[in-house]
């Protein structure tokens, strides 16, 4: 009699807890605690990814999912040459494509990409925008001109690599009334040469594969909204018809190889996904958002890829939405902000000492000036003892039981609103007066612990932007010591890290203006590093989130950036529009608290949002008996 061991070469293990990693698809085990047999099943699904910095429609794409290069095309009613890079977490700006171009095609990895121009933007009128024959090569840092095509192609397909590519199909003019072409051309890294024609000329075509094993599917043969379902394969010499898509579509995208490709999006049925096995298309999980003219990676696998931008089908607004496709034994949950408990007292310009999504305090702020202190348990806020001096625009660091509040404005009758130097410490039950800062400060950066804290930048007096400083002060739990100066004076920036390894990103400059720079501190001096990607006039969080190898920065206008130790990329935006709140904890488990929603007519906020980083979990299923 056959047994599981004889069939699979291993026996079924008995465990008390389900494994969490290093488990192969189809592996079976017996969980003694739940008295059930369990296994790992393949998970195939789209999930939300961080949105691009800019809107893109009819752009180009290259690279694999975790190293994708996407951009150019149109952005609303304007053309754009902007290009962005995706690192698996978020987007960063990349060198722009020379000139505005749309409706081209791209292929190759992120560091050796080949893009064809399509046509220039704007389109002056019917039949007036001829297809460009230009191509561009990208080496990971800059674009250079490549060889010219013999026949310009708009909304055509492209397969292969920078040194062995195939360009095929498309239209010769825009708008869509221009004739389709069935030409195909092979690229050798310097020049294009004519290849054999497609059986059917078409544009708005989906594509994948290599120069000698290319795949073209869907598209538009006669400029009809329904498009075509036809599929053709190229073997390096000629094109052969293969199995049709289940649903006809144009403006379709895809990635993979000739024997295993994914097709998705398009005008009409814009969320539909199908997978090709070399002869037949099978319907898979749908996308979360409907796209047409989206851009995608050109991953050499149907198991993983990213789609970004395009417009909401059938003919909606240009978008920057992105989605990831993963087919694996793991379920990936994208990073996201979610709603937490509301403060008892809404306010802005407060400070905090937050160490996780379930532990932290906030204190001070304006609503009007207050000394109120509240503690968070992961669900709700509780009021604690007030500060000795009600204040706003202050800085804070530490933990829920050992915190420091420094500087800010005081609310004292008859006393002008000027920055102060007073410092208080929190011991978990009450505030006490401690050694003052060496100088008055307002809206300074902050990070660290009660016995190893750091205050940087901010303003020393009114008017604010005329007195922004470069000063750094270190705190040892008793005394303050001046340390190295910031590369540029700024305040209202995002900070994080420790006393010996911290960052200070973005912020307001003197005598005004906004910085996108990041300063890094090593315990004695500051240096400049990677710039943030997106910035807003007002800071959304003056708290300290993360470290110099995994930081999170929140700014006004819902913007969030994340740092991986090398570069900043975009992260999911928070939900409640606001500025000048406070934030804290880690880059994968953070809180954003309070703030106000309108700079000139403040609406004080009490909302809390909780940030959770991307997680991966084995797709465990319980086996049942019939």
Q: Read off the pLDDT of residues 486-513 as tens digits, 9 standing for 90 and up.
A: 999 999 999 999 999 999 999 999 877 8
What pLDDT, on a 0 to 100 scale, did the predictor assign at position 426? 98
Q: Read off the pLDDT of residues 546-561 as tens digits, 9 standing for 90 and up.
A: 999 999 999 888 899 9
Report whether pLDDT(9) > 60: no
What pLDDT, on a 0 to 100 scale, did the predictor assign at position 175? 66
- Return all residues near 10 (Cβ < 8 A) that are at least 6 apart: none
Q: Which pairs from 551-555 meet CB under 8 Å and 24+ separation?
A: 551/496, 551/497, 551/503, 551/505, 551/587, 552/494, 552/496, 552/583, 552/586, 552/587, 552/590, 552/611, 553/494, 553/496, 553/505, 553/506, 554/494, 554/581, 554/583, 554/592, 555/494, 555/506, 555/579
* Residue 354 CB coordination number (10 Å): 30
Closest C-alpha to 304, from 332, 267, 269? 332
What pLDDT, on a 0 to 100 scale, did the predictor assign at position 539? 67
Q: Read off the pLDDT of residues 257-295 as tens digits, 9 standing for 90 and up.
A: 999 999 999 887 789 999 999 999 999 999 988 777 778
Paired strand residues for 236: none
Q: Read off the pLDDT of residues 232-263 as tens digits, 9 standing for 90 and up.
A: 999 999 999 999 999 999 999 999 999 999 99
Mean pLDDT, the chain, integer: 89
d(C-alpha 433, C-alpha 435), whole Å:
7
pLDDT band at 603 (very low <50, low <70, confident <90, very high): confident
Per-residue DSSP letters for 139-183? -SS-EEE-PPPSS--BS-EEEE-SSSEEEE--BSEESTTSPB---
More confident residue, 626 or 281: 281
d(C-alpha 38, C-alpha 203), whole Å:
47
pLDDT band at 332 (very low <50, low <70, confident <90, very high): confident
Listed ranges 97-101, 122-126, 170-174, 424-428; the one with the highest mean pLDDT: 424-428
What pLDDT, on a 0 to 100 scale, did the predictor assign at position 157? 96
Q: Are 264 and 274 in contact (CB under 8 A)?
A: yes
pLDDT band at 93 (very low <50, low <70, confident <90, very high): very high
Query: What domains lie within the chain, and their CATH numbers?
Result: 4-41 (no CATH), 45-334 (2.120.10.80), 347-597+605-612 (2.120.10.80)
Q: Read off the pLDDT of residues 195-224 as tens digits, 9 standing for 90 and up.
A: 999 999 999 999 999 999 999 999 998 776
Q: What are phi and psi of 71, to 5 degrees?
A: 165, -160
| Residue 378: both structure tokens together | 């992961």
- Residue 489, judged by CB atoms within 10 A of its CB (0-12, 13-18, 19+), counts as buried
* Torsion, CA 8, CA 11, CA 17, CA 19, rounded to 10: -30
What pLDDT, on a 0 to 100 scale, did the predictor assign at position 240? 98
Q: List the alpha helices (DSSP H) in 183-321.
A: none
Listed ranges 64-68, 97-101, 534-538; the one with the highest mean pLDDT: 64-68
What pLDDT, on a 0 to 100 scale, did the predictor assign at position 21? 66
3 state DSSP class of 341: coil
Site of tokens 């420790």: 498
d(C-alpha 387, C-alpha 370), whole Å:
8
More confident residue, 457 or 57: 457
Report pTM: 0.88
What pLDDT, on a 0 to 100 scale, did the predictor assign at position 396? 97
* Cis bond before residue 424 (omega within 30° of 0): no
Report whether pLDDT(414) > 70: no
What pLDDT, on a 0 to 100 scale, did the predictor assign at position 109? 95
Site of tokens 């315990």: 523
């Amino acid at each position: 009699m056959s047994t599981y061991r004889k069939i699979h070469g291993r026996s079924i293990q008995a465990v008390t807890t389900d494994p969490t990693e290093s488990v192969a698809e189809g592996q079976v085990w017996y969980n003694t605690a739940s008295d059930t047999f369990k296994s790992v099943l393949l998970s195939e699904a789209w999930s939300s990814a961080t949105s691009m910095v800019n809107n893109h429609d009819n752009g180009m794409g290259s690279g694999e999912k975790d190293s994708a290069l996407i951009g150019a095309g149109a952005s609303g009613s304007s053309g754009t040459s902007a290009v962005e890079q995706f690192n698996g977490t978020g987007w960063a700006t990349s060198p722009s494509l020379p000139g505005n171009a749309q409706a081209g095609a791209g292929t190759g990895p992120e560091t050796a990409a080949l893009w064809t121009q399509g046509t220039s933007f704007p389109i002056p009128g019917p039949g007036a925008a001829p297809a460009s024959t230009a191509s561009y090569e990208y080496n990971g840092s800059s674009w250079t001109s490549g060889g010219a095509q013999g026949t310009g192609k708009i909304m055509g397909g492209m397969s292969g690599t920078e040194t062995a590519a195939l360009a095929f199909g498309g239209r010769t003019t825009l708008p869509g009334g221009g004739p389709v072409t069935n030409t195909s051309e092979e690229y050798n890294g310097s020049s294009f040469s004519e290849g054999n024609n497609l059986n059917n000329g078409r544009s708005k075509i989906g594509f994948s594969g290599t120069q000698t094993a290319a795949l073209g599917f869907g598209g538009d043969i006669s400029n009809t909204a329904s498009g075509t379902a036809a599929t053709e394969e190229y073997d390096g010499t000629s094109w052969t018809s293969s199995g049709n898509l289940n649903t006809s579509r144009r403006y379709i995208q895809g990635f993979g190889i000739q024997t295993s490709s994914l097709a998705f999006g398009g005008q009409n049925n814009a969320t539909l996904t199908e997978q090709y096995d070399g002869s037949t298309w099978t319907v898979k999980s749908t996308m979360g958002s409907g796209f047409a003219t989206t851009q995608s990676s050109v991953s050499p696998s149907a198991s993983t890829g990213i789609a970004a931008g395009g417009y909401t089908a059938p003919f909606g607004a240009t978008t920057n939405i992105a989605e990831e496709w993963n087919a694996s034994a793991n379920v990936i949950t994208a990073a996201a902000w979610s709603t937490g408990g509301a403060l008892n007292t809404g306010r802005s310009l407060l400070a905090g000492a937050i160490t996780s999504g379930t532990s932290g305090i906030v204190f001070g702020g304006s609503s009007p000036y207050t000394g109120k202190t509240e503690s968070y348990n992961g669900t709700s806020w509780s009021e604690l003892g007030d500060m000795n001096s009600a204040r706003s625009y202050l800085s804070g660091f530490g933990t829920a039981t050992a915190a420091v509040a420094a500087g800010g404005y005081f609310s004292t009758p008859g006393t002008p609103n000027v920055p102060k130097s007073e410092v208080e410490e929190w011991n978990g039950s009450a505030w006490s007066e401690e050694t003052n800062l060496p100088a008055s400060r307002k809206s300074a950066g902050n990070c660290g612990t009660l016995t190893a804290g750091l205050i940087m930048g901010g303003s020393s007096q009114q008017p604010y932007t005329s007195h922004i400083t470069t000063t750094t002060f270190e705190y040892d739990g008793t005394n303050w010591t001046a340390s190295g100066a910031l590369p540029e004076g700024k305040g209202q920036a995002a900070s994080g890290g420790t006393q010996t390894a911290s960052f200070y990103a973005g912020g307001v400059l003197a005598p005004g203006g906004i910085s996108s720079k990041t300063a890094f501190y090593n315990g004695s001096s500051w240096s400049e590093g990677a710039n943030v990607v997106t910035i807003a006039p007002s800071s959304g969080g003056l708290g300290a989130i993360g470290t110099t190898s995994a930081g999170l920065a929140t700014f006004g206008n819902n913007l969030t950036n994340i740092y991986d130790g090398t570069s900043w990329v975009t992260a999911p935006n928070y939900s409640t529009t606001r500025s000048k709140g406070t934030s804290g904890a880690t880059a994968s488990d953070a809180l954003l608290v309070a703030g106000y929603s309108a700079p000139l007519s403040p609406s004080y906020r009490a909302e809390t949002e909780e940030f959770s980083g991307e997680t991966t979990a084995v797709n465990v299923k319980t086996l049942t008996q019939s």
